[in-house]
Amino acid sequence: MPPRPQRFVSDKKIDMKSLKRLMSYVLRRYGMRFVVVFICICLSSVSTVIVNNFMAKLIDTVIIPGLDTGFDAIRDKLYQIIFNMLIFDILGLAAAVIYPQIMAVVGQGTIKSLRDDMFENMETLPIRYFDRHAHGEIMSTYTNDVGTIRMLVGQTIPQALSSLLSIAVILFSMVNYSIWLTVFVLLVAYLMFVITKKFGGKSTKYMAAQQKSIAEEEGFIEEMMEGLKVVKVFTHEEEARKDFDRVNEQLFRDSETANATANSLMPILANVGNIMYVVLAIVGGLLVVMKIPNLSLKGVSTISIGVIISFLSLSRQLSHTISQVSQQVSAIAMALAGSDRVFALIDEKPEEDEGYVMLVNAYKDENGELHEADHHTGLWAWKHYHAQSDHSTTYVELKGDIQMVDVDFAYEPDKQVLFDVSLYAHPGQKIAFVGATGAGKTTITNLINRFYDIPDGKIRYDGINVNKIKKPDLRRSLGMVLQDVNLFTGTVMDNIRYGKLDATDEECINAAKLANAHDFIMRLPEGYDTMLTGNGQQLSQGQRQLLSIARAAVADPPVMILDEATSSIDTRTEALVQRGMDNLMEGRTVFVIAHRLSTVRNSDAIMVLDHGHIVERGTHEQLLEQKGIYYQLYTGAFELE
Amino acid sequence: MFKILAGRIGEYKKATILTPLFMVGEVAMEVIIPTVMAVLIDHMGTESLADIVRYGLLLLGLAFVSLFCGMKSARYGATASTGFAKNLRRDLFYKTLDFSFEDVDEFSSSSLVTRLTNDVSQLQMAFQMLIRMAVRTPLMLVFSVLMSFRINHRMSLIFLMIIPFMGTFLWLIFHISHPIFRRIFKRYDALNNSVQENVAGIRVVKSFVREDYEIQKFKKTSEEVRNDFVHAEKVMALNNPFNMLCIKTTILLVCYFAAKIIINTHSTELTTGQLSSLISYGVQILTAMMMMSMVFIQVTFSTEAASRISEVLDHSSRLVSPENGITEVKDGSIVFDHVFFKYGEHSRNYALSDINLDIRSGQTIGIIGATGSSKTSLIQLISRLYDVTEGSVKVSGHDVREYDLKSLRDQVAVVLQKNVLFSGTIKDNLRWGNKDASDEEIKRVCRLAQADEFIEQFPDKYDTMLSQGGTNVSGGQKQRLCIARALLKKPKIIILDDSTSAVDTKTDALIRQAFKKEIPDTTKIIIAQRVNSIEESDQIIVLDNGKIVEHGTHDELMKLKGIYYEVYDSQTRRKGDDL
């Protein structure tokens, strides 16, 4: 058995490399659009601030003089200011309409490319990768991690850009009005920053505690729901309640703290902003009343009420923007951790394939010599191009002759699982593997189709070193019926056709008949058009097994690897499956991992495996005579599974 | 539905009430502050320092009250919502523990898990929204309108005119995007499903060399998902600029008219300070409108979760323990009297028809039959995991429905076919049978179940940790542990539902021998695929399509030359003559 997947451990360190790479991902595809977005963001933030400046002007240059001169005198000036505000508002609005529309395309496009790249690379990864990573973990990269990146590209980056710009513009305008007041505002802003950071840190800690409790609770619930019937049979409800209450209380405590902290941040920031606003008003008021000279970029003058009003509005905007930035920072950190995992999947090294021998359609001429054909002939040949020697091409007929010589193998360096395994299967022979769980039966078959690689020359297929054969071509020549059946969402017909994509309906139905699956399929509500979902959960274990046999049958490969189902199916279905398998085996080289001794009996050779060694080999009769392990298994003295 | 959910607030009623109350305080302060601010600004013109300081201090005080209320509301809100979630989860969990097998089948484990986890946390969020944001935003709206009305009712009309526009637009956007989002969720599920299938079935994909095919399939789905998302996002993205349009139009209008009014009335009807307050209120009103639409969307999304949860809470199990039920099962005799049974009222076919059996205490009964012949259904009636549809099942002379459920099940031990071990040590798992069992007792039952030997070979022996689902022991070992666990109950009746299928024939025989010798008074019912597991039983029952077709001892059935004979023949024939 391959090693069990390890639990996913995330390292918290965030480096900017991912951000850079992510940005280059975006810019490479949507460079021009991103420039437009950037311009729009600038326009929209600048226009907001400028319009605010006009407000101050409105009071200082229109309303206050107007109080003395009357409305008519300042009418033109009023119109002019309103008109200017209108212009900038329209500009800002236009920008605000345009850039989210573009960002929708950019953000979703980037996500799609990332997803496609992840999936494309995932399909090329060696089986080892899937052994080492929990399925849930891989799934979470597609869902959670990609989700955080979507937020980052689609929302956070534009928002952060706009926030930073706003802060810059606001500060500039402030300095333009009054340096004293600006210094004061900056002090308060710093205070807000400190509070955010402190709260943010605390909140992260509580969030982590909450996350842990959630995981624990979900684990408990999952286990209990799976075992609900056992709970009932053992009338274990009372204990289950007690255990649950303990876990539930812990989750409540942790999430209460986490939520309280998260909820508090908003009122705190808002009111620090309020307090800043108030103190600013007092200080400003003092400046006005005491006529303290104001220092600004425009020089020294006295402070006006208009200036104070504008300043107040600016300070409100500033505190608002800062609280936004505090949220954006944590979103960026989360997304970067996510993109690390996304890129790790994209960068994972694909399965190596140095093979160059290809499987081609062939025909024989009058002299019995093989030639490549450009159409399906029913005859297959290995096309062997000798690049290193004389650049000639030879053709070897595909027969299904398999030889293993002194094969050692370890999934992990220090845990060898196969020792000196040698075997020979002539075309059309049936080889059975028998042995306890973990003896190495599945491992041997995994090496034949090169799910795992071993050094050169140990396994030969029709006399050719399998490492020289292109993996796809090698696997096409081998049919697999695995113990754990995996079906795909789609109709029954789709699932059978998986074995040969261009198979006609008739071919599929014939394959189903061969596999003994036709009868039960016809009894399904919509026959071959019945939709299967969730790995064919609406079918029984035996029926799923039959479908997987049909799927292999339609592919019609010369060599078959069959892993028998261990789960208990009743004698009648078992007989059906058995007959299906027997039909499939006819005329092929077959490796069968046997869990039922009835399968083994008529094999050409039986290999008894024990802890990675072939301890006995021979025909059924020969092995019985030896009175060894096989004999004991056969008489029921040993557990097979 | 909401009544059911409201019932889970329980001891967090205080927090649930205080949260919106403090929220009212916070909002009130936030609304009053701009007004006082206006007064302050106006005093600047009069150049009275004392007034500025006085109003300034008042403002500071208000800000602190606002902060206090805000913090309180935040904390109570957290307590109320997480407490609500806690109670909801507890009630759900307790409810599922009271479910009968029928109910478990109906809901399925995985859907119960989703309800207990995702759905509850969605409701928790919605609940917090309801007691915080759903209180805050309308209040903000009303207060702000009132205050602006107080300052100048003519100006506040501008706001009132804008509100319906905005409301209509938000409603429109929600209406257009909601169906798109629903479709998206489906497509997105299909996308994830495709990944899931490929991860789980990678060996199939690779052995059929279907990598490119799968990639093309995935790209097609991901293209569809992208197009849908772009469409939805584009619609949603119009929301924000429209709000800006409303806000900016309002501000322009306010500026123009305010300037006119201030000058024409010489600051009597409106002052410059009031102008800036008006603008703040305007922004607040429109932000409140936006927030309200968000709350509305969120709460709408959570109604589906709410209905899924109340489905469970509302579910009334038909199989309940009778009041004052009999608590003692005297012996292990069982009678089936014209028993008919079907799963669910609406199913057409009977799973069992006209079953009559008379089993004496201490007898061993073997049951055999093809998949779907209702062997499991039959034995599940004995410990009342399901109720009969017609007829009656009697244990020790009393109808099973007369017994206290817990007592009955404690005396009738079932080793289920789909059995489960839980994460914990072997000992922890065995103690499910009897939590007060001594180490000696545990060892004794393990010897009976032929489990002691392999347990002793583990480095930690009985303290060996089992992983979830017991994946670190072999199938045969797991089955023997499950048998030992059931034996620990010292039941009057023990039922093995195909519980030795992965155990080798020799051990299987040893277990039967031990049963015979050590627990002679216990009635043993054995369902098996292998004939030799039941061959020596006192009565053998052959089931076919829910009916007893053959019934008798091994010798009697062999003479019948029916199904039993056939099965026996096919299973023993495969042994060579030379054995």
For residue B45, name the pLDDT band (cuts at 50, 70, 90): low
ipTM given for this complex:
0.80
Scanning every residue of chain B, which has its alpha carbon at the shortest distance from the alpha carbon of A436? B474
Joined tokens for residue A166: 């706003």
| Rounded mean pLDDT, A139-153 | 81
Contact A608, A622 (CB under 8 A): no
**pTM higher than 0.80 for the full model?**
no
Distance from the Cα of residue B469 to its chain's centroid: 19
Residue B504 in contact with partner chain A when CB distance is under 8 A: yes
Q: Which residues of B touch A116 (CB under 8 A)?
A: 215, 218-219, 222
Contact A486, B204 (CB under 8 A): yes
Owner of token pair 């929302």: A155
pLDDT tens by residue, B78-117: 999 999 999 998 988 888 888 888 787 777 777 787 788 7
Q: What is the pLDDT of residue A509?
A: 92
The Cα A25–Cα A35 span in angstroms is 14
Nearest to A241 among B94, B245, B420 (CB): B94
Minimal C-alpha gap between B221 and chain A (Å): 10
Domain total in chain B: 3
Q: What is the pLDDT of residue A635?
A: 67
Scanning every residue of chain B, which has its alpha carbon at the shortest distance from the alpha carbon of A101? B234
Alpha-helical (H) ranges within B458-562 are 475-487, 505-518, 554-560
Minimal C-alpha gap between A392 and chain B (Å): 28
Q: Tell me the Cα Rg of chain B.
A: 36
On the question of pLDDT at A22 being above 50, the answer is yes
Minimal C-alpha gap between B448 and chain A (Å): 18
Are B111 and B29 found together in one domain?
Answer: yes
Q: Is residue B308 part of a domain?
A: yes
Residue B6 in contact with partner chain A when CB distance is under 8 A: no
Residue B416 in contact with partner chain A when CB distance is under 8 A: yes
The Cα A556–Cα A508 span in angstroms is 11
| Rounded mean pLDDT, A285-301 | 70
Q: What is the pLDDT of residue B121?
A: 83
The Cα A472–Cα B210 span in angstroms is 9
Are B416 and B549 found together in one domain?
Answer: yes
Residue A234 in contact with partner chain B when CB distance is under 8 A: yes
CATH superfamily for domain A402-634: P-loop containing nucleotide triphosphate hydrolases (3.40.50.300)
The Cα B380–Cα B371 span in angstroms is 16
Q: What is the pLDDT of residue B455?
A: 83
Q: What is the pLDDT of residue B395?
A: 84
Are B51 and B194 found together in one domain?
Answer: no
Q: What is the pLDDT of residue B235?
A: 84
On the question of pLDDT at A637 being above 60, the answer is no
Q: Is residue B410 part of a domain?
A: yes
Owner of token pair 């060898």: A416
Residue B37 in contact with partner chain A when CB distance is under 8 A: yes
Written as one letter, the residue type at A189 is: A
Comparing C-alpha atoms, which of B192, B174, B193, B194 is closest to residue B182? Answer: B174
Comparing C-alpha atoms, which of A451, A446, A444 is closest to residue A418? Answer: A444
Q: What is the pLDDT of residue A592?
A: 85
The Cα A179–Cα A469 span in angstroms is 77
On the question of pLDDT at A13 being above 70, the answer is no
Contact A326, A355 (CB under 8 A): no
Q: Is residue B231 part of a domain?
A: yes
Higher pLDDT, A105 or B173: A105
Are B68 and B181 found together in one domain?
Answer: no
SS3 A424: strand
Minimal C-alpha gap between B527 and chain A (Å): 12
Q: Is residue B467 part of a domain?
A: no
Are B395 and B503 found together in one domain?
Answer: yes
pLDDT tens by residue, A538-582: 677 778 888 888 888 888 888 888 877 555 456 666 677 777 777
For residue A641, name the pLDDT band (cuts at 50, 70, 90): very low
For residue B76, name the pLDDT band (cuts at 50, 70, 90): very high
The Cα A173–Cα A151 span in angstroms is 31
Residue A277 in contact with partner chain B when CB distance is under 8 A: yes
The Cα A600–Cα A620 span in angstroms is 7
Contact A255, B61 (CB under 8 A): no
Q: Which residues of B touch A635 (CB under 8 A)?
A: 505, 579
Q: Is residue B17 part of a domain?
A: yes
The string of DSSP letters for B545-569 reads TTEEEEEE-HHHHHHHTSHHHHHHH
| Burial class of A569 by CB neighbour count within 10 A (0 to 12, 13 to 18, 19+) | buried
Q: Which residues of A touch B255 (CB under 8 A)?
A: 55, 58, 82, 85
Are B166 and B215 found together in one domain?
Answer: yes
Residues whose CB falls within 8 Å of the CB of residue B283, separated by 6 or more in sequence, listed in order? B247, B251
Higher pLDDT, B42 or B446: B446
pLDDT tens by residue, A316-330: 778 778 777 777 776
Q: What is the pLDDT of residue B470?
A: 61
Written as one letter, the residue type at B187 is: R
Q: Is residue B22 part of a domain?
A: yes
A residues 81-140 near B, CB within 8 Å?
82, 85-86, 89, 92-93, 96-97, 100-101, 103-105, 107-109, 111-112, 115-116, 119-120, 122-124, 127, 130, 135, 138-139
Pairing relationship of beta strands B424-425 and B465-466 according to DSSP bridges? antiparallel
| Burial class of B413 by CB neighbour count within 10 A (0 to 12, 13 to 18, 19+) | buried
The Cα A265–Cα A200 span in angstroms is 9
On the question of pLDDT at B335 being above 60, the answer is yes
Q: What is the 3-state secondary structure (H, E, C) of A524-560?
A: CCCHHHCEECCCCCCCCHHHHHHHHHHHHHHHCCCEE
Q: Which helix (H) or strand (E) holds B277?
A: helix B272-314
Written as one letter, the residue type at A475 is: R
When scoring A230, A311, A348, A437 by the number of chain B Cβ atoms within 10 A, the one with the most, hence best to mutate, is: A230
Are B158 and B99 found together in one domain?
Answer: no
- The lowest-confidence range among A52-61, A440-449, B167-176 is A52-61
- DSSP symbol at B51: H
pLDDT tens by residue, A461-473: 888 888 888 888 8
On the question of pLDDT at A356 being above 80, the answer is yes
Mean residue pLDDT of chain B comes to 81
CB contact under 8 A, A225 and B567: no
On the question of pLDDT at A9 being above 50, the answer is no
Q: What is the pLDDT of residue B468?
A: 62
Q: Is residue B483 part of a domain?
A: no
Scanning every residue of chain B, which has its alpha carbon at the shortest distance from the alpha carbon of A97? B241
CATH superfamily for domain A11-176+333-349: ABC transporter type 1, transmembrane domain (1.20.1560.10)
Comparing C-alpha atoms, which of B300, B306, B320 is closest to residue B8? Answer: B306
CA within 13 Å, CB half, B5 = 21
Are B66 and B168 found together in one domain?
Answer: no
pLDDT tens by residue, B368-396: 887 667 788 888 888 888 888 888 888 88
Are B12 and B129 found together in one domain?
Answer: yes
Contact A438, A519 (CB under 8 A): no
CATH number for B187: 1.20.1560.10
The Cα B27–Cα A266 span in angstroms is 13
Mean residue pLDDT of chain A comes to 80
Phi, psi of A423 (to 5 degrees): -160, 165
Are B312 and B344 found together in one domain?
Answer: no
Q: What is the pLDDT of residue B229?
A: 86
| Rounded mean pLDDT, A620-627 | 83
Higher pLDDT, B78 or B351: B78
CB contact under 8 A, A82 and B255: yes
Range of the domain at B218: 153-269
For residue B576, name the pLDDT band (cuts at 50, 70, 90): very low
Distance from the Cα of residue A329 to its chain's centroid: 24
The Cα A561–Cα A550 span in angstroms is 14
Q: Is residue B202 part of a domain?
A: yes
Distances (CA, A) of B116 to B10, B130, B174, B312: 18, 21, 29, 10
CA within 13 Å, CB half, A290 = 13
For residue B293, name the pLDDT band (cuts at 50, 70, 90): confident
On the question of pLDDT at A384 being above 60, the answer is yes
| Burial class of A638 by CB neighbour count within 10 A (0 to 12, 13 to 18, 19+) | middle
For residue B44, name the pLDDT band (cuts at 50, 70, 90): low
Are B30 and B100 found together in one domain?
Answer: yes
Q: What is the 3-state secondary structure (H, E, C) of A201-226?
A: HHHHHHHHHHHHHHHHHHHHHHHHHH
Are B371 and B514 found together in one domain?
Answer: yes
| Rounded mean pLDDT, B438-451 | 84
CB contact under 8 A, B96 and A639: no
pLDDT tens by residue, B506-542: 778 888 888 888 888 888 888 887 777 888 888 888 8
Q: Which helix (H) or strand (E) holds B432?
A: none
SS3 B300: helix
Residues whose CB falls within 8 Å of the CB of residue A616, separated by 6 or more in sequence, listed in order? A606, A607, A608, A623, A626, A628, A629, A630
Scanning every residue of chain B, which has its alpha carbon at the shortest distance from the alpha carbon of A551? B208
Higher pLDDT, B278 or B86: B86
| Rounded mean pLDDT, A231-253 | 85
